[in-house]
Chain A
Amino acid sequence: MSVKISEEKLFSFYEEMLFYRRFEERVLRAYTQRMFAGFCHVHIGQEAVCVGIQGLLEAHDYVLSGYRSHTQAIAKGLSAASVFGELLGKATGCSKGKGGSMHMFSEEHRFLGGNGIVGAQAPLAVGAAFSLKYKKQKNISVCYLGDAAMNQGAVFEAMNMAAVWCLPVLFVIENNQYGMGTHIKRVTSVDSLAKRALAFDMEHSSVDGMSVVSVYEHCAPIVEKMKKTGAPYLLEVNTYRYKGHSVSDPGLYRSKEELESYQARDPLIQAETILLQSKKFTKNQLEELNQKVKEKVKKAEEEALSAPFPEKEEAFKDVFVS
């Protein structure tokens, strides 16, 4: 089965990517204005990955990720204001201000974090898939991992269990080529991370993550098949982060040319070009959209800013179920 994306769908994906771009820019601005502190990892440059993949999910699918997950949380249905609120450490944040940038959670939206320990989400994702199979639900569990997370023992163990027990986990490697300042080639023996699946006899493939069209069209049949067979799948998405690892990283380990070669294939520009070529959308419309998106982001930030900080007693709640 092959899927072709419609222009209308691409337009809505474009809007979503634009929203994440502006959202993360605003987050960085808030950080540099010292509205919050700690670590802050953004997805600028990688927007097509979660938009293309999560555009295929249903409310009852699970999503798990690492510490770079603001946009994935929003894509799973969390309000942008509750994610921004969490960043600011507000009581209205999606984790009541107790989690912060690395720990977005929503049971309601089946977003199981936001994990700060590299690769630690992989066994949890397998557990969520185990639950689905146990309850005979035809949903899947999506597990985002960074390229560097592929060298964690827990990830190998998780993949083997998913394979041997045939559990519906879609392992998505967001391969942006770097784990902090280390290029993946310096710490990994395989030339393509998708090959790791061979060790588990797991279905796998790689896709261009700079194009939301590629991600979506490539993943549609994968997700559909997983919902039928319940078998796991390893997908490598080749992408690039434009910013440093976190706000404090100047990114001196890579060249300007390398960055620019990816920016030339920017997911937003690619989508824009297709939309304009289709003649269904005008430049004006896209500019209006940009304004609308900016307003939406601003509103989310304002809502978060005006929310209260948690009461001190909050520090002592939620250690146990009461």
Chain B
Amino acid sequence: MALLTMREALGEAMAEEMRRDSSIFLMGEEVAEYDGAYKVSKGLLKEFGSSRVIDSPISEGGFAGLGIGAAMTGLRPIIEMMTWNFGIQAFDQIINNAAKMRYMSGGQFKVPIVFRGPNGAAHMLAAQHSQNVDPLLANIPGLKVVSVSTPYDAKGLLKSSIRDDNPVIFLESEMLYALKGEVPEGEYLIPLGEADKKKEGQDVTLVTWGKITHKALQAADECEKLGISVEVIDLRTLRPLDEEAIFRSVRKTNRCVVVEENWPFASVGTHIADRVQRECFDDLDAPVIRVSQEDVPVPYAENLEEEVLPSVEKIVRAIQTVSYRI
């Protein structure tokens, strides 16, 4: 085992895959000479050269579409969005072309492409720079959506995403790039569509994914002190969704809290709550509770930002509420 940061784990995943398959290239703003705006692609230009690690103009719609065209014709692009806030500019290409090409061509074309980059609020970046795209993209049939919380998951899932023959949206976080975690020395893959139990527990199932998983785990620890044993399920992949992992846990604990960094309306959490009440109705001892961002754009001022983002306290309160222990 080696201790790697999230950015190193992601970088290793790309390097390993690029070594094994020469049809893979990386394109995005500042990915080459600057080693990545967040240094995720550090060293890749040096190893693979400028024909495979390419600095793009600030033309998100353009290079996303270029990637899709290249994927339709035999290459395997990794397209980095400096952040997903700018990836919104590429939604037309991602939604209208990447997601639908296979289907509307009657199964003729495949689009093996990964769109990756940091997602969600960082710190005091205000409304346009603090957005989560998971619900927006998980809504689209034809896209796989991955959201990672640890270096280990990040490496194994990015490698699988690159090998997948379908378009994959890969969600990271600026706030997690420096996070360190154990990563095996040799090669490993984590299949898409498998959730991971990040903590075993008996009384409440906490379903979460991405950066907020860490706050969820903190909240779970707090609750242990209060005598509530919380099981934390990190979904890791939103599409395809590992429903069985959720149901299995809920059938054991009989209580479910969904924690997400999205806005509450028509989010991924609403879908999970719907599936749980439908499939685990007889097992539930309380209604499913959701913790999400407040239903407002993310403000700049630190005290306001804190107010609207999910916090450990809010998650603890939700766990207490679902346990009727408040």
Contact = CB atoms under 8 A, between A and B. Distances in A.
Contacts of A148: 57-58
A99 interface: yes
Contact of B126 (A116, A153, A309): A116
Interface string A91-104: 00001011110110
Nearest to B61: A153
B91 interface: no
Interface centre among A98, A99, A118, A153, by most B CB within 10 Å?
Answer: A98
Interface stretch (A36-44, A159-167, A194-202, A286-294): A36-44
Contact of B294 (A102, A149, A310, A316): A316
Interface residues of A, number: 40
A74 B126 CA distance: 21
A103 B126 contact: yes
Interface stretch (A135-143, A178-186, A235-243): A178-186
Interface in A97-113: 97-100, 102-103
B302 interface: yes
A79 interface: no
Tell me the dominant secondary structure on chain B's binding face: loop
A319 B299 contact: no
Contact of A98 (B57, B89, B125, B126): B126
Contacts of B124: 36-38, 89, 100
A99 B300 contact: yes
B30 A180 contact: yes
Contact of B58 (A38, A179, A253): A179
A314 interface: yes
A153 B64 CA distance: 12
B163 to A, nearest CB: 30
A316 B304 CA distance: 9
B105 interface: no
Interface string A277-319: 0000000000000000000000000000000011010111001
A188 B56 CA distance: 10
A149 B29 CA distance: 12
B58 A152 contact: yes
A1 interface: no
SS class of chain A's interface: helix, strand, loop or mixed?
loop
B56 A315 contact: no
A117 interface: yes
Category for how many chain B residues contact A = 20 to 34
Contacts of B86: 117-118
A117 B29 contact: no
Interface string B108-136: 00000000000000011111110000000
A90 interface: yes
A190 interface: no
B40 to A, nearest CB: 15
Contacts of A36: 124
B126 A102 contact: yes
Interface in A168-196: 179-182, 186-188
Contact of A151 (B57, B126, B301): B57
A119 interface: yes
Contact of B34 (A37, A181, A316): A181
Given A38-B124, A38-B125, A118-B58, A180 B301 contact: no
Nearest to A148: B58
A116 B301 CA distance: 16
B30 A39 contact: no
Contacts of B59: 151-153
A89, A152, A315, A316 pick with most chain B CB within 10 angstroms: A315
Nearest to A98: B299
Contact of B301 (A89, A152, A181, A187): A89
Contacts of B237: none
B55 interface: yes
Contacts of B294: 315-316
B15 interface: no
Contacts of B74: none
A315 B300 CA distance: 9
Given A37-B124, A39-B125, A153-B62, A182 B55 contact: yes
B303 interface: yes
B123 to A, nearest CB: 6
B307 interface: yes
Interface centre among A38, A152, A312 (most CB of B within 10 A): A38
Given A97-B300, A99-B300, A153-B62, A187 B55 contact: yes
B273 interface: no
Interface string A253-275: 10000000000000000000000
12 contacts: A38-B300, A97-B301, A99-B126, A100-B124, A116-B126, A117-B86, A151-B59, A182-B55, A187-B57, A253-B34, A310-B301, A314-B299
6 cross-chain pairs, A with B, having the tightest CB-CB distances, nearest first: A89-B301, A100-B300, A38-B124, A151-B57, A187-B57, A116-B128
